[in-house]
Amino acid sequence: MQYKEEKVIVLDFGAQYAHLIARRVRHLSVYSELLPYDTSPSEISKINPSGIIFSGGPSSVHEKGSPRPQLEIFELGIPILGICYGLQVMVDILGGEVIKAPKREYGKASLEIDEESDLLSGIGPKTTVWMSHGDAPTKPPNGFITIGHTENSPYAAIRDESAQLFGLQFHPEVSHTPEGSKILQNFLFKVCKCKGSWMMESFVDSSVDSIKQLVGEGEKVLCALSGGIDSTVTAVLLQRAIPSNLTCVFVDHGLLRLNEANNVKAILEGKLGLNVMFEDEGARFISKLNGVFDPEEKRKIIGEEFIRSFEQFSDQHGPFEWLAQGTLYPDVIESAGGTGPSSRIKAHHNVGGLPEKMAFKLIEPLKDLYKDEVKTVGALLGLPKSFLEKHPFPGPGLAVRIIGEVTTEKLRICRDASAIVEEEITSSALYAKVWQAFAIVGDDRATGIQGDQRSEGYMVTIRVVESVDAMTADWTRLPFDLLEKMSNRITNEISKVSWVSYAISSKPPSTIEPQ
Ligand code: XMP
């Protein structure tokens, strides 16, 4: 993606949400990219952005070596918006005070507007915001005034309008701050005076061009397809750019949902007309997972086995110089592979789970995008709406929904229970409204009573969440009748299950998948 005219840069202080800010800005038709937090003021001057956003981050300004921008950045005359840690570091550098807050704040809070400002124009008088912080300012720097507060954060929104500096303790970029997009829009258009002429179509054209340039004549590309939206959009982009260099392969790792391989085949070959080779590698993957309990180790094993399958395939049908994957930005950032000092949440099988040595160079055309952006690209490429509404399914499959060791019994329970959850969500017309709906099983057993006899069985947990981009998520308030029906079906139809529970944790502090 390249767009030179109007740009807002996001300095990455290591937040899980740093890239999401850039993505939100692009969604508002202003080109945005992420740069390391220590990008020098002279480099920033050369880029000449209309505005700068400091992302949040996991550090505390009181820690030795915590990431800090250079002071001169505040003298460039470019509007700056600091978010969470970005606010705290701005306050600390400009002479205010930040302390470890008496109460850490995660989740929803109610922001009350105190003063009129360009940034919060049209918001309030009260609005819900999403917090995730330990430190908080106790005194803003000279020249700043408070424009909004919450019960636990007296300086939740501050400004020095004459210097065009703004700070927010909460996260306007996450979908759980309902008016967050309006706040970012105010920053872009009222404060930074942007015009907003960037479009997603530019992405399709520029990535088709760069794939053409990247792949040399006669070089062969192997595209790893899972039947999900990301890898399918990747395959369709490649087919548009380099049709005669492309081969697609689907590896069945034995950790798929009920009837998944057949369903995927019907869509890819039927509706989308892609030429795909199907490889059944289930027995090998499952045997490698024997005796493995640690979730990160499971992901690494699966990531490695995928690559070994592709290498084996390349020996038989190649050689292929390139491996194309549908990696998205959340996979990169959660595996701690971004531009800033972020911490590793999960080694997504296709990023942190890749082996150090592999025989391919990687093509990942979607690795700067979020799921909703990929859906827009998919629609621009002509993929059917029903396909674009498919729920995401993690590459390591049911292995990350089975807590502890993957055994044949737990795999059966997880697969059958997930099928019931998906069926019931679909027949209640909720499928397209929720982000994901599935079942989880671990090693916990609970006592049951069946046919007047004591029984002992596994506990199954249902997880249904709503999300826009998987960076944050909330549990879906399903009707009790529907939960009851799912529970009855799971305990009646699946042997060795005695209890069913429903997961009611949001992300953060939880993640969507249990492992
Ligand atoms: P978490 O569990 O981190 O998941 O909140 C965020 C989104 O990513 C999916 N997910 C994965 N997808 N490989 C993938 O392709 C992975 O290793 C992986 N782990 C999680 C998850 O289903 C959710 O939509």
Q: What is the pLDDT of residues 411-448, one digit of tens each?
A: 999 999 999 999 999 999 999 999 999 999 999 999 99
CB 228 within 8 A of CB 404: no
Q: Is 228 in the pocket of ligand 1 (CB under 6 A)?
A: no
**Is residue 514 in some structural domain?**
no
Is the per-residue pLDDT at 2 higher than 50?
A: no
Nearest CA to ligand 1 atom 9: 394
Nearest CA to ligand 1 atom 4: 512
- Domain C-terminal end among 388, 409, 428: 388
CB 28 within 8 A of CB 219: no
CA dist., res. 52 & res. 47, Å (int): 11
Number of independent structural domains in the chain: 3
**Same domain? 422 vs 287:** no
Q: Given this model, what pLDDT does residue 338 score?
A: 62
For residue 477, which amino acid is it? Answer: R
Q: Given this model, what pLDDT does residue 358 score?
A: 78
Nearest CA to ligand 1 atom 3: 511
> Using 50, 70 and 90 to split pLDDT, how confident is the model at 246?
very high
* Residue 84 among the catalytic residues: yes
- Domain C-terminal end among 388, 410, 433: 388
pLDDT tens per residue across span 39-53: 999 999 999 999 999
Q: Given this model, what pLDDT does residue 3 score?
A: 44
CA dist., res. 310 & res. 307, Å (int): 5
Q: Given this model, what pLDDT does residue 463 score?
A: 98
**Is residue 513 in some structural domain?**
no
Nearest of 481, 480, 482, 475 to residue 504 by alpha carbon: 475
**Same domain? 152 vs 23:** yes
Q: Is 511 in the pocket of ligand 1 (CB under 6 A)?
A: yes
Return the ligand 1 atom nearest residue 303 CA: 17
Nearest CA to ligand 1 atom 17: 348
**Same domain? 32 vs 50:** yes
At residue 315, φ and ψ (nearest 5 deg) are -60, -40
**Same domain? 435 vs 381:** no
**Same domain? 270 vs 382:** yes
**Is residue 354 in some structural domain?**
yes
Beta bridge partners of 446: 457
CA of 513 from ligand 1 middle (Å) equals: 7
CB 228 within 8 A of CB 328: no
Total count of residues recorded for the chain: 515
CA dist., res. 354 & res. 373, Å (int): 25
Return the ligand 1 atom nearest residue 514 CA: 2
**Same domain? 174 vs 25:** yes
CA of 152 from ligand 1 middle (Å) equals: 32
Helix (H) and strand (E) counts in the chain: 14, 18
**Hey, CA dihedral for 240, 241, 247, 253, is it positive or negative?**
negative
CA dist., res. 450 & res. 468, Å (int): 41
Is the per-residue pLDDT at 334 higher than 80?
A: no
Is the per-residue pLDDT at 55 higher than 60?
A: yes
CA of 263 from ligand 1 middle (Å) equals: 21
Measured CA distances, 194 to 76, 185, 319 (Å) = 17, 10, 48
CB 211 within 8 A of CB 221: no
Give the CATH number for residue 50: 3.40.50.880
Q: What is the mean pLDDT of residues 148-173?
A: 94
At residue 177, φ and ψ (nearest 5 deg) are -100, 95
**Hey, CA dihedral for 308, 312, 318, 324, is it positive or negative?**
negative
**Same domain? 185 vs 269:** no
Is the per-residue pLDDT at 276 higher than 60?
A: yes
- Domain C-terminal end among 144, 160, 191: 191
Q: Is 354 in the pocket of ligand 1 (CB under 6 A)?
A: no
Nearest of 106, 112, 169, 179 to residue 140 by alpha carbon: 169
Q: Is 204 in the pocket of ligand 1 (CB under 6 A)?
A: no
Return the ligand 1 atom nearest residue 513 CA: 2
**Is residue 515 in some structural domain?**
no
Mean pLDDT for the chain?
Answer: 92
Is the per-residue pLDDT at 342 higher than 70?
A: no
Catalytic entry in 6, 84, 253, 304: 84
**Same domain? 179 vs 205:** no
Beta bridge partners of 109: 129
**Same domain? 413 vs 480:** yes
Per the structure block, which two tokens stand in for 368?
Answer: 């700067």
CB-count burial class (<10 Å; 0-12, 13-18, 19+) for 291: exposed
Q: Given this model, what pLDDT does residue 351 score?
A: 72
**Is residue 135 in some structural domain?**
yes
Vertex 403, ends 402 and 408: CA angle to 5°?
45
**Hey, CA dihedral for 45, 48, 51, 55, is it positive or negative?**
negative
CA of 395 from ligand 1 middle (Å) equals: 8
CB 69 within 8 A of CB 11: yes
Beta bridge partners of 500: 460
Q: Given this model, what pLDDT does residue 222 score?
A: 96
CA of 392 from ligand 1 middle (Å) equals: 8
Ranges 207-216, 305-314, 482-491, most confident: 482-491
At residue 291, φ and ψ (nearest 5 deg) are 75, 10
Catalytic entry in 149, 171, 176, 349: 171
**Same domain? 112 vs 184:** yes
Nearest of 198, 155, 189 to residue 79 by alpha carbon: 189
Is the per-residue pLDDT at 368 higher than 90?
A: no
> Using 50, 70 and 90 to split pLDDT, how confident is the model at 64?
very high
* Residue 149 among the catalytic residues: no
For residue 79, which amino acid is it? Answer: P
Dihedral, CA of residue 320, residue 326, residue 329 and residue 335, to nearest 10: -70
CA of 5 from ligand 1 middle (Å) equals: 35
First to last CA, the chain: 33
CA dist., res. 57 & res. 37, Å (int): 10
Is the per-residue pLDDT at 65 higher than 50?
A: yes
pLDDT tens per residue across span 219-231: 999 999 998 999 9
Q: What is the mean pLDDT of residues 185-192?
A: 98
**Same domain? 178 vs 234:** no
Give the CATH number for residue 256: 3.40.50.620
Per the structure block, which two tokens stand in for 249?
Answer: 């392969």
Q: Is 352 in the pocket of ligand 1 (CB under 6 A)?
A: no
CA dist., res. 257 & res. 260, Å (int): 5
Is the per-residue pLDDT at 197 higher than 90?
A: no
Per the structure block, which two tokens stand in for 487?
Answer: 């529970």
pLDDT tens per residue across span 456-497: 999 999 999 999 878 889 999 999 999 999 999 999 999 999
Is the per-residue pLDDT at 1 higher than 60?
A: no
DSSP 306-364: HHHHHHHHHHHH---SEEE----HHHHHHTT-SSS-PPPS---TTTTTS-S--S-EEE-
CA dist., res. 316 & res. 311, Å (int): 9
Q: Given this model, what pLDDT does residue 337 score?
A: 61
Tell me which H or E stretch contains 147: strand 145-149
CA dist., res. 151 & res. 336, Å (int): 33
**Is residue 328 in some structural domain?**
yes
Is the per-residue pLDDT at 359 higher than 90?
A: no
Answering whether pTM is above 0.85, one says no
The structure tokens 């309030």 sit at 124
Q: Is 305 in the pocket of ligand 1 (CB under 6 A)?
A: no
**Is residue 395 in some structural domain?**
no
Per the structure block, which two tokens stand in for 127?
Answer: 């609005």
Is the per-residue pLDDT at 499 higher than 60?
A: yes
Q: Given this model, what pLDDT does residue 352 score?
A: 67
Q: What is the mean pLDDT of residues 135-159?
A: 95
CA dist., res. 185 & res. 38, Å (int): 26
Q: What is the mean pLDDT of residues 145-171?
A: 94
Q: Given this model, what pLDDT does residue 353 score?
A: 65
**Same domain? 168 vs 24:** yes
**Is residue 212 in some structural domain?**
yes
Q: What's the domain range around 255?
A: 200-388
